[in-house]
Amino acid sequence: MATIRRVLIALVVTALLMGAAVIGVALWFTWNKEPLPLSDQCAADVADLTVSVTPEQAHYLSIIVGVATQRDLAPRASTIAIATVYQESGIRNLDYGDRDSLGLFQQRPSQGWGTDEQVQDPYHASERFYETLVTIPDWRNGDVNDVAQAVQRSGHPNGYAKHVENSRRLASALTGETPASFSCRVSTPPAADPAGLVAFLERTLPASATITQSPGAVTIEAASSKLAWSAASVAIANHHRYGLAGVDVGGRTWTPSTTEIARWSGEPTSGSTVVVRFEAGAPR
């Protein structure tokens, strides 16, 4: 009986330790605003560092970057905005917050950022953030944390600093500064929805982009190679919503995977045309 009791105690202790380890890992990833290793996720691979986010975070980031691109702001603006939403909401569109703070940027309706509904609209929230950002003296060269704090006036004035490096890489990938650097893994993609993607891109990309839909594909004619790569990354960031079959731009091809972060293939060339395929055999 004593031996059985010792075995049972050992099993219980082992189970408790394993449970604690699992909880610890989950808390670590939550604290660092990262998806769990086996979950669906997107990643920016820039300057020898990979930054991972959930697909839903990628969706919001694509809007934040898209609004900056529409306003013809330098990628640094996107870096500052991304560092802000990392700190304020964990890149989540929250319907709660400190006092009356709401949304991605935790903007307060009582402080003039908009109505409750408006500050929870990622487009409105991003527009208001950038409207204030460009009024900050030397925002293009100032310290990212300090500029973000000048916009937000947070009670934690140094909280943005720890997110700067991740934000720079995400901004670089999504603005097209670093081509072929953004990808996603979605284990169960939705049915193809080219019309949905067209509507999203028309709202998110700059007015200079021409978007057309043909059988099995959506084509984007961008004003530059950099903007083409931004459009491609924005589309991929929303694969979990619109069910892409592939993306072609600048001599490179992205083919989604359900088991791993897909890699870009092909030899890079110049070009400003993006083809988002929704059928495997669609023309490239």
Whether residue 283 is predicted with pLDDT greater than 70 in this model: the reply is no
What whole-number distance in Å separates Cα of residue 231 and Cα of residue 6? 61
The pLDDT value recorded for residue 33 is: 60
Whether residue 148 is predicted with pLDDT greater than 90 in this model: the reply is yes
Identify the residue with better confidence: 38 or 141: 141
pLDDT (tens digit per residue) in 79-102: 999 999 999 999 999 999 999 999
The pLDDT value recorded for residue 36 is: 81
Whether residue 185 is predicted with pLDDT greater than 80 in this model: the reply is yes
Identify the residue with better confidence: 221 or 34: 221
End-to-end CA distance of the chain: 71
What whole-number distance in Å separates Cα of residue 26 and Cα of residue 16? 15
Q: Which band of pLDDT confidence, cut at 50, 70 and 90, is reported for residue 35?
A: confident
Instruction: Report the pLDDT averaged over residues 144-150.
Output: 98
Whether residue 54 is predicted with pLDDT greater than 80 in this model: the reply is yes
The pLDDT value recorded for residue 28 is: 35
Q: What are phi and psi of 155, to 5 degrees?
A: -75, -5
Residue type, 92: R
What whole-number distance in Å separates Cα of residue 5 and Cα of residue 16? 16
Question: How far is residue 238 from each of residues 85, 98, 144, 180, 250, measured CA to CA in Å?
Answer: 18, 30, 27, 16, 20
CA 274 to chain centre: 19
Instruction: Report the pLDDT averaged over residues 39-50.
Output: 97
Whether residue 9 is predicted with pLDDT greater than 70 in this model: the reply is no
Whether residue 276 is predicted with pLDDT greater than 80 in this model: the reply is yes
Beta bridge partners of 44: 51, 182
What whole-number distance in Å separates Cα of residue 155 and Cα of residue 76? 23
Q: 83: closest CA among 172, 173, 162?
A: 162
Q: Which band of pLDDT confidence, cut at 50, 70 and 90, is reported for residue 8?
A: low
The pLDDT value recorded for residue 87 is: 98
Q: HEC string of 219-272?
A: EEECCCHHHHHHHHHHHHCCHHHHCCCEEEECCEEECCECCCCCCEECCCCCCC
The pLDDT value recorded for residue 177 is: 98
Whether residue 30 is predicted with pLDDT greater than 50 in this model: the reply is no
Average pLDDT, the chain: 91
Whether residue 145 is predicted with pLDDT greater than 70 in this model: the reply is yes
Hey, CA dihedral for 231, 105, 161, 59, is it positive or negative? negative
Sheet holding 252-254, edge to edge: 210-214, 217-221, 273-277, 246-249, 252-254, 264-265
What whole-number distance in Å separates Cα of residue 256 and Cα of residue 263? 8
Q: What are phi and psi of 40, to 5 degrees?
A: -60, 140
Whether residue 26 is predicted with pLDDT greater than 60 in this model: the reply is no
pLDDT (tens digit per residue) in 172-181: 999 999 999 9
pLDDT (tens digit per residue) in 192-206: 999 999 999 999 999
